[in-house]
Structure 1
Amino acid sequence: MIKKIGKKLLLTTLIIIGLLVVGYFLFTAFYPSFGGDVSKERQQAYTASAQYDKGVFINTNSAVPKTRSFTELMSLLKYSLTTEVQNGRPKEDLPVQKIDSAAVANYTGPARLVWYGHSSFLLQMEGKNILLDPMLSEVAAPHPWLAEPRFNSEYPLDIPELPVIDAVFFSHDHYDHLDYDTVLQLKAKTTQFYVPLGVGVHLEAWGVASTQITEMDWWQETTIGTITVACTPAQHFSGRKLNNGQSTLWSSWVLHTDRERIFFSGDSGYAPHFKKIGDTYGPFDLALMECGQYDAKWPEIHMMPEETAQAGVDIQAKRLIPIHWAGFKLALHPWTDPVLRVQKGAANKDLTIITSGIGEVISVKDSTQVYQEW
């Protein structure tokens, strides 16, 4: 009798596991937000990249991201799901300053930015309208049921009100940076998308024409009118489902003219690439630097705020905007911790920290502008 019960329990367990596995693969195969998969032909083309090895993209420090055993992964999952965080998210929606659509469409002045929260920006530079990591959906996940909502329910200017977008830049393919619904809304009004190697497969899967996508490797350059663009290194990882990790590259971006220089870090752990970027393209008038969603258990892929301040010094930035915070709860620190700590970390450095509000217009070179305090 006991043996029969045991066999039935084992069979039931195996059936449940089997159904979950089948359900997962059906979900990822037919639900569009997961994006595309890199073909064998594209993989062959990527072998020319120094960052591509044995079918995956790698960091300069090839030990990153850390390889974890199944036991370690389960322990990390338990830690993430059971650790309570005081002040983990705002008690109310964050306030958002609205901007006038006509004023945006007609702007021709010096370079300026508008922060949308997290890592998303509208950049107006040299008469061009540019979006950096636009992620304008409620959750950073493939389905609304799989994550908590973002901290702001409104935006400075909704996508339909934006003018024609000359360029959209994505740093990598994680859900809090590359979003299906956002791309669907942008593709008809965007001239060109710029992405690290491989990320174009997701855009193509969502109906963006391949001619509208420019894939770039680290240290490659191109131009948008009078703006020089460089795809630069980051220390991170990629993947939108369990079986396509590191199939696409991750990056930071440099945009500069004879008058203005901007650095956008994307996501990155602290590493020597920041100094190399500074030596190659610095000094920068303004750096948009990752500062949030960090933890002592994954220091190699996200910087601590004190490291963000040091990275700003490494790239030779005059001023720094902490990003990757005030958008989503993706880690276990208090939601205001990033901005408070990076300000302290920069206190003894020749570096100005800008703490703008969502929707506040940021002049790239105006050092006299005063911003809200968090």
Structure 2
Amino acid sequence: MIAIVSIIGVLVVIYLLFTNYYPSFGGDVSKEQQKTYQLSSNYKDGKFRNSNDVPKEMSLSETLSLVYTFFTTKVPNGRPTKDIIPQHLKKVNVSNYKGDTRLIWFGHSSFLLQINGKNILIDPMFGKVPAPHPLLGSSRFNKEFPIEIDQLPVIDAVIYSHDHYDHLDYESVLKIKDKTKHFYTPLGVGVHLSAWNIPKEKITEMDWWQETALDDIRLVCTPAQHFSGRKMNNGQSTLWSSWVITTTTDNIFFSGDSGYASHFKEIGDTYGPFDLALMECGQYNEKWSDIHMMPEETAMAGVDIKAKNVMPIHWAGFKLALHEWTDPIVRVKAKAKELNLNIISPEIGQEIIVKDTVNNYTDWWKNYE
């Protein structure tokens, strides 16, 4: 018994030292910040909440059981058979781009958006592993990127949806922070950026339904049904969101991470229709479907928000669930056909013109099965 207690004590000390001194965990929301968040209708009893009563709080035994299942279950076709090779872009063609609004996908949920002469990064996660330390997760599916991160042009804005490691990555922030003019986040997420020495005047935190302007581009922080936290003791201390990005000619929706709920229809009714919706579709399971949509729900959400075109995201980047890596795209396309919804499926690095009416994309993932 003494030995067991001693081991537990040592593990607790190691955890506390690791989370308090290893920089990738980010910052902690102060009591002063908590007071300001009380003005938000999404904040109650020291935590941010979803409109619905989710996610369900799991007991320690349930959590350990889920972790054990994840790390011991072998998933056939859980990863591509070889590294995904993206389409590559020349630096000059990115830096000097003046054409129609376009996006470049980096895999998972990361994009470069070039719109109205501005360069905007969305959930830029360029790290190898979606975890606080390289030994705590499996590596991404693509070692190469469409363009090397140090060759990216000046970034006018970075938009984050929430603070999970597969969306907000410490090493990625270090690579882009000196060339980035401003960061936009849901409430609380800026505390991590501040911990990584980004000046507070370069950070704008927003609540759901708040709007701001980046010159002639309107940014709207909109709801999502998810959760947050970068360590065991700060869950739901920061907000999560989706985003609307709109100009006089283009209207784009980015879902962030979300379960399927009524907020999609509310967003569609308020800000739709959308030329293109970047919709979460991957890393799901029936056990946590309240915070990650199943593929069929992704298609239904695309209808709800009145999207002319839907691009499934949150797949083809990392293995964070127990489904086959191609399951998301196959299932969402089948459901979309049933709903008469147009799905686009570009390769990593392929140019995505927002107003494109041809959408000539191939089933490229079949080359990696």
Q: Please give the range of the TM-score, normalised by the shorter of the 2 chains.
A: over 0.9
Q: CA deviation at 1:159?
A: 1.5
Give the alignment of 1:1-374 within 5 angstroms. Answer: 10-61=1-52, 63-373=53-363, 374=365
Describe the superposition over 1:168-226 as per-residue Cα deviations: whole angstroms up to 9, x where unpaired: 00000000000000001111000000000000000000010000000000000001111
Query: Which one-letter code corresponds to 1:24 in the other structure?
Result: Y
Describe the superposition over 1:152-172 as per-residue Cα deviations: whole angstroms up to 9, x where unpaired: 001001121010000000000
Secondary structure of the 2:50 match is coil
Secondary structure of the 1:28 match is helix
Query: Which one-letter code corresponds to 1:189 in the other structure?
Result: K
Q: CA deviation at 1:279?
A: 0.2
Q: CA deviation at 1:75?
A: 2.1
8 Å contact from structure 1 (residues 313, 350) kept in 2: no
Q: CA deviation at 1:90?
A: 0.8
Q: Distance in 2 between matches of 1:350 and 1:317?
A: 11
Query: Which one-letter code corresponds to 2:80 in the other structure?
Result: P
8 Å contact from structure 2 (residues 78, 319) kept in 1: yes
Structure 1 ranges of 4+ moved more than 6 A: none
Secondary structure of the 1:254 match is strand
Query: Which one-letter code corresponds to 1:53 in the other structure?
Result: K
Query: Which one-letter code corresponds to 1:19 in the other structure?
Result: V
Comparing 336-345 with 79-88, greater Cα deviation is found at 79-88
Q: CA deviation at 1:304?
A: 0.3
Q: Which runs of 5+ in 2 are unaligned?
A: none
Determine which structure has more spread, i.e. the larger CA radius of gyration: 1
Describe the superposition over 1:115-158 as per-residue Cα deviations: whole angstroms up to 9, x where unpaired: 00000000000110000000001000000000010000010011
Comparing 174-183 with 107-116, greater Cα deviation is found at 107-116
Describe the superposition over 1:12-64 as per-residue Cα deviations: whole angstroms up to 9, x where unpaired: 11111000000000000000000000000000010000010010000001x21
Query: Which one-letter code corresponds to 2:169 in the other structure?
Result: D
Query: Which one-letter code corresponds to 2:39 in the other structure?
Result: A
Q: Distance in 1 between matches of 2:314 and 2:355?
A: 22
Secondary structure of the 2:328 match is helix
Q: Distance in 1 between matches of 2:279 and 2:77?
A: 23
Q: Distance in 2 between matches of 1:29 and 1:229?
A: 34
Q: Distance in 2 between matches of 1:298 and 1:349?
A: 24
* TM-score w.r.t. length of structure 1: 0.96
* TM-score w.r.t. length of structure 2: 0.98
Q: Distance in 1 between matches of 2:76 and 2:359?
A: 33
Q: CA deviation at 1:350?
A: 3.1
Query: Which one-letter code corresponds to 2:48 in the other structure?
Result: F
> Percentage identity across aligned positions?
63
Q: Distance in 2 between matches of 1:173 and 1:29?
A: 17
8 Å contact from structure 2 (residues 268, 305) kept in 1: yes
Q: CA deviation at 1:84?
A: 1.7
Secondary structure of the 2:229 match is coil
Query: Which one-letter code corresponds to 2:114 in the other structure?
Result: Q
Q: CA deviation at 1:242?
A: 0.2
Q: Distance in 1 between matches of 2:300 and 2:353?
A: 23
Q: CA deviation at 1:368?
A: 1.0
Q: How many residues align?
A: 364
Q: Distance in 2 between matches of 1:212 and 1:185?
A: 16
Q: Distance in 2 between matches of 1:239 and 1:73?
A: 15
Secondary structure of the 1:38 match is coil
8 Å contact from structure 1 (residues 35, 203) kept in 2: yes
Q: CA deviation at 1:326?
A: 0.3
